[in-house]
Amino acid sequence: MKKPKRASAAKAKKGPKTSAGRSKVAPKRLAESRAKGPAKLPARRGASAAGGAKGAMKPAVNATIRDLRSKLKGALRRVAELEAAADTDFLLEIPNRRGFERELARAVAYMKRYRASGALIVLDVDRLKPINDSFGHAAGDEVLKAIAATLTRQIRASDLVGRLGGDEFALLLWNLSETDAKAKAAAFEQAVDELSFVFRGQHVSAGASAGVALLGVQSDATRALEDADAAMYVRKAHRRHEPRIRLVSS
């Protein structure tokens, strides 16, 4: 005997859940979720580990930066030392030709700008070659050192003495008239003439000849060196009557 279909009829009355019913609930849930705000995500272990790694690396990075800065300072100091050595005569420890010409160019530029004046003196040792030939280059070096020291003592702190090469010196003197510059050149000659050396039991003197070129607002550094050098050779020709080398038995 078949059962009546009441149950199925009841189910039919209820009917299946429609999409319209679900859509009515969805906006309510969406509004509630918005009111609560965004959900908080748990902190990731990887992020905390990365932060710890960065904190551990920072001291090492700072140490590397300090080391690089120290090396850079040392390199710059070495460059300055090499530049100074390139402009200095290694034997006499005064400016060489390069260093002296650079300072002369600066001085001439200053004189042109501020209408200052000065003098350039080129001084050549008269009898250095016979000393080198008779007693060796060590004796000649001793003569050059003594002359450089003598000239340095004869100038002011603002002046400059340099070695142009071989047995030739140059002096840059500030604020001198033509008369004073020529008197100073004569004083340099006399100071060198009065030097005396003893080599192998013999007393030896050298001597020097000096030429002068005045410096001022119209001067050119290269031309001034040429003029002073030419004047020096004229002076040397006048001194040729003097003995080439004086030897006195001890």
Residue positions annotated with a catalytic role:
167
**DSSP string over 7-58:** HHHHHHHH-PPPHHHHHHHHHHHHHHHHHH-SPPPPPPHHHHHHHHHHHHHH
Pair of tokens at residue 168: 């030739």
**200: phi > 0 → left, psi -120 to 50 → alpha, else beta; which?**
left
What gap in Å lies between CA 62 and CA 57, rounded to an integer?
9
Residue with tokens 């209820």: 14
Asked if 104 and 225 touch (Cβ cutoff 8 Å), the reply is: yes
